[in-house]
Amino acid sequence: MDTPQKQWMALYTKPRNEKKVADRLEKAGYEVYCPTYTTLRQWSDRKKKVTIPAIPSYCFIKVEENKRWNVLQDPGAVRFVYWQGKPAIIQEIHLHAFKRFMGEVEEEDQIFNAEISEGDRVLLRKGGFMGVEADVLNIKSNGNLELLLPDLGVKVICQKKNVDKI
């Protein structure tokens, strides 16, 4: 039997509970991402730097399908975000792009540790075909990948470091 696969999902939280929910779920052993930024706020008597969520009332969690309901036991968690009647799954590549947009990872950071094998679908990150999805046909002994770009009907050779598994 297949082991359940963890997937990124969006979790709707009570207002102003995003960071607290993320902290509690991380302590419970989940991989959680709550995008924040620091800004200067002014009150009548002082100025202070505060860290606030970039997306109010949302955080992202990587969880197995059968553990979703355990996450909702957190007092600040309200529900998962649904799309067409199913929990909305967020692709790792999209979360990585958002982190890059937020300035949390550099362009060259490698956060994907998944092994690429023949038959996988990958996303090209550099070069003339940047942003195009491709199928892995063959893995060369030097580590290069032979890819098929199905939308274009083109076969290309690419360095492994320039693709992300999706």
* CA–CA dist 76, 109 (Å, integer): 32
Q: What is the pLDDT of residues 81-140, one digit of tens each?
A: 998 998 899 988 788 878 877 777 655 444 444 577 888 888 877 776 777 788 888 888
Q: Residues near 66 by Cβ (< 8 Å), separated by ≥ 6? A: 4
Q: What is the pLDDT of residues 10-68, one digit of tens each?
A: 999 999 999 999 999 999 999 999 999 889 989 899 999 999 999 999 999 999 988 99
Provide the token pair at 97: 């792009």
* CA–CA dist 6, 31 (Å, integer): 10
pLDDT at 164: 64
Q: What is the pLDDT of residues 148-163, one digit of tens each?
A: 888 777 788 877 766 6
The reply to whether the predicted model has a pTM over 0.75 is no
pLDDT at 138: 87
pLDDT at 73: 95
User: Dihedral sign, CA of 56, 61, 67, 73?
Assistant: negative
Provide the token pair at 127: 């070069």
